[in-house]
A and B are shown apart, each in its own frame.
Chain A
């Protein structure tokens, strides 16, 4: 009950979208939400519980904390508590909810008009957020050719400040997913004044945002944030201090939580989760996530897997359920396609390949392809669960005569081989950042995609570009179905599972909602009741 209220607080109250092609009546839902809040009132007086929260974060030393420079997932969690986004997805209904952007209209196919919320103050006295900040931020992305240029900002052409809080964005071509992808993934705005004064590089370790928490310090492996007293959502946040400590070993992270040295952790070792759920002093939240494990074939190299029948055989040889159980201990969903639950275009988790694989079919396909088996080097990075998964997959695949020679390397060497397409096959996981199917398929299936390795199909390209530009959701959905259907036969990549995101914390923490995005862990409504 309390959780739903927290979600609704994040939505704007009673604002109506002028977008005619939206299919659901957001206004009704919002009105209902507002009614509920007004009827039951703000939750009773803030608990007299503790006022700080120590978050044990995974990964190594926190990287850069600037929203306009590429950062890793762990840094993303911290950044999102410092800076709010233009919009937020409602994970249940898949709809885009206003946050710092109150309103957005597609005035003509190539133009979007965005109205920003008024009265949002930047930290440390940098004034109020205006449309100038939005235009500055997005222009900065384009000028610096940031990593988001190809994901969220690829269609952007030019900007215009139309009013103090209104900006107009001109596109190069129509983009149906503009609210979800561009405003969603690319929606963290920085203050023009702050960014120019502090400098882009210095911003990495001295960020200024407008979110619920202000940056205080970054020392070695610890980031300290404190409450933003001028936060635009009145009454929030409840916590006074939010501390992120980097604890690289997942086992130790859990042990430290159990001992009370930490209050909150994410990414525990999946093996321990079942045991921990019996611990009465801890609370557990697990959300199906938007992270896949997949195998990628470098088709630029001359190997038997260039034949798509061989790739199909491999997909049939994989016992996905075993991977889910042995590597993730149940904290995952088997999948063979890349449009997960919650996305437009999702149908089922397993569309074509049986959950335990089909060895007979696999052998049949190998025979049909005329392939008796081959040896190949498969690389993976140093994530230990992926290493184990690759061992398991290698054993499965050896049953159809293929020998995987596993090459486990540090992330630097791995990235180097991947970026330069010097690998043969690889196993890796990837997190999708925006709640739109375009973000899940274009980069991997388009011949110009940055994650594609030699897969080149003009028909597929046409479908992908068409679906991007299409604005009618029904038509888009149809296109994405076709895309996935072809992908399941061509198999440029093979998907195994969607991992869950598991978050554990001490009992007594209310108001935290676990999101199906790895880097979304927002604490603005969190508080201790004891």
Chain B
């Protein structure tokens, strides 16, 4: 237990180090990319003087390391600067969009887990039977279709033809449906479109992981001891089979925020992804830095959780 706690402490202490790597890399990358945000913002008709004046205002005329230092100095105090394009505080932009992104990612993951865990277990037990092929094939289907194509199909069938769910509506104040259904309904189609890929990944992983585990020595030993089959499955196999799955969920959660861009675009969802894309395209440095920092923090925390869970599940692992 003490070992685990010290490990946790060590990981938490390393967060600044990781964040430093991330932010420095992103910072260097976007400043090296051709394109000046002021020029883009002021457009074709502007004069060089106007551009220079604004550049000064955003410290863009200083050397890069100084700019980075200024940014860090402010960031640790909670000030992530203001968007060059919109003049909104980056923290406010994050506060508006992060909850939406998290809700979207969580609902996608929930959908994925609800389907993939039972499917993975059944596939592993009844491997290479029709059932297995069906489940595996189905979930690979979810993996094989790009999520925007799936989203369009879902919209076409479930929203236009059947009229079961709305298309847009997340983050909107118009439309006075304040019931529970009104709050949940716009999330359903995007969650399925996003979650389909996760379902496939997790089901496959769980299946192969379960198969591996089920053929381990200690499973056979337990069986030899005479414990009924069911319990073996649940207690021993699943616990160990979940290791790679847990890792994957953590990795995928962060990855999800990166690939929500197309889904956010299609469903007009005010999440982190699309705004980050707009910022990248417009070279809006403060927004890019702030948003990637936020995503990075979440991701790192998720990974730490995954690693700690590792030790709970497989007591043999020592770091």
Binding site for B on A (CB under 8 A): 52, 54, 60-61, 63-64, 70, 144-151, 201-202, 204-205, 219-222, 224, 243, 245-249, 252, 255-256, 258-259, 261-262, 410-413, 415-419, 443, 450-451
Contact at B39–A224, with CB atoms within 8 Å? Answer: no
Residues from chain A with a CB closer than 8 A to the CB of B153 are none
- Excluding A224-B173, A259-B160, 11 further A-B contacts by CB distance (< 8 Å) are A54-B174, A60-B278, A144-B53, A145-B50, A149-B50, A204-B88, A220-B275, A258-B160, A261-B169, A412-B35, A416-B35
Other-chain contact of B280, A145, A202, A412, A418 (Cβ < 8 Å): A412
A-B contact pairs, 14 of them (CB 8 A): A52-B174, A144-B50, A144-B53, A149-B45, A221-B270, A222-B171, A245-B174, A247-B168, A248-B268, A249-B265, A252-B167, A259-B159, A410-B280, A417-B34
* 3 nearest A-B pairs in the assembled complex, by CB-CB distance: A220-B270, A145-B50, A416-B35
Residues from chain B with a CB closer than 8 A to the CB of A247 are 168, 268
Contact at B160–A255, with CB atoms within 8 Å? Answer: yes
Residues from chain A with a CB closer than 8 A to the CB of B265 are 248-249
Residues from chain A with a CB closer than 8 A to the CB of B159 are 255, 259
Other-chain contact of A70, B35, B42, B167, B275 (Cβ < 8 Å): B42
**CA of A54 to CA of B168 in the docked complex: distance in angstroms?**
12
Contact at A147–B46, with CB atoms within 8 Å? Answer: yes
B247 interface residue (CB < 8 Å to A): no
Q: Count of chain B residues with Cβ under 8 Å from any Cβ of A?
A: 49
Residues from chain B with a CB closer than 8 A to the CB of A416 are 34-36, 39-40
Contact at B283–A412, with CB atoms within 8 Å? Answer: yes
**CA of A415 to CA of B267 in the docked complex: distance in angstroms?**
28
Residues from chain B with a CB closer than 8 A to the CB of A443 are 45
Residue of A nearest to B46 (CB): A147
Residue of B nearest to A204 (CB): B87
Contact at A201–B87, with CB atoms within 8 Å? Answer: yes
Contact at A243–B168, with CB atoms within 8 Å? Answer: no
**CA of A151 to CA of B155 in the docked complex: distance in angstroms?**
44
Distance between A207 CB and nearest chain B CB, rounded to angstroms: 12
Other-chain contact of B167, A60, A145, A248, A261 (Cβ < 8 Å): A261
Contact at B40–A412, with CB atoms within 8 Å? Answer: yes
User: Which B residues between 208 and 235 are near A, CB-CB below 8 angstroms?
Assistant: none
**CA of A63 to CA of B88 in the docked complex: distance in angstroms?**
10
User: Which B residues between 127 and 161 are near A, CB-CB below 8 angstroms?
Assistant: 155, 159-160
**CA of A224 to CA of B171 in the docked complex: distance in angstroms?**
13
B239 interface residue (CB < 8 Å to A): no
Known A-B contacts A64-B85, A412-B40, A416-B39; the reply to A220 vs B96 at CB < 8 A is yes
Contact at B268–A259, with CB atoms within 8 Å? Answer: no
B240 interface residue (CB < 8 Å to A): no
**CA of A201 to CA of B87 in the docked complex: distance in angstroms?**
6
Residue of A nearest to B48 (CB): A145
Contact at A450–B44, with CB atoms within 8 Å? Answer: yes
**CA of A277 to CA of B56 in the docked complex: distance in angstroms?**
51
Residues from chain B with a CB closer than 8 A to the CB of A204 are 86-88
Known A-B contacts A221-B268, A243-B174, A411-B281; the reply to A205 vs B39 at CB < 8 A is no
Residues from chain A with a CB closer than 8 A to the CB of B85 are 63-64
B266 interface residue (CB < 8 Å to A): yes
Residues from chain B with a CB closer than 8 A to the CB of A415 are 35, 39-40
B78 interface residue (CB < 8 Å to A): no
Residue of A nearest to B50 (CB): A145
Contact at A221–B171, with CB atoms within 8 Å? Answer: yes
Known A-B contacts A221-B171, A245-B168; the reply to A150 vs B280 at CB < 8 A is no
**CA of A247 to CA of B274 in the docked complex: distance in angstroms?**
12
Residues from chain A with a CB closer than 8 A to the CB of B42 are 70, 147
Determine which residue in B50, B100, B168 has the highest number of CB atoms from chain A within 10 A of its CB, and name it. B168
Residues from chain A with a CB closer than 8 A to the CB of B283 are 412
B67 interface residue (CB < 8 Å to A): no
Known A-B contacts A247-B268, A411-B281; the reply to A220 vs B171 at CB < 8 A is yes
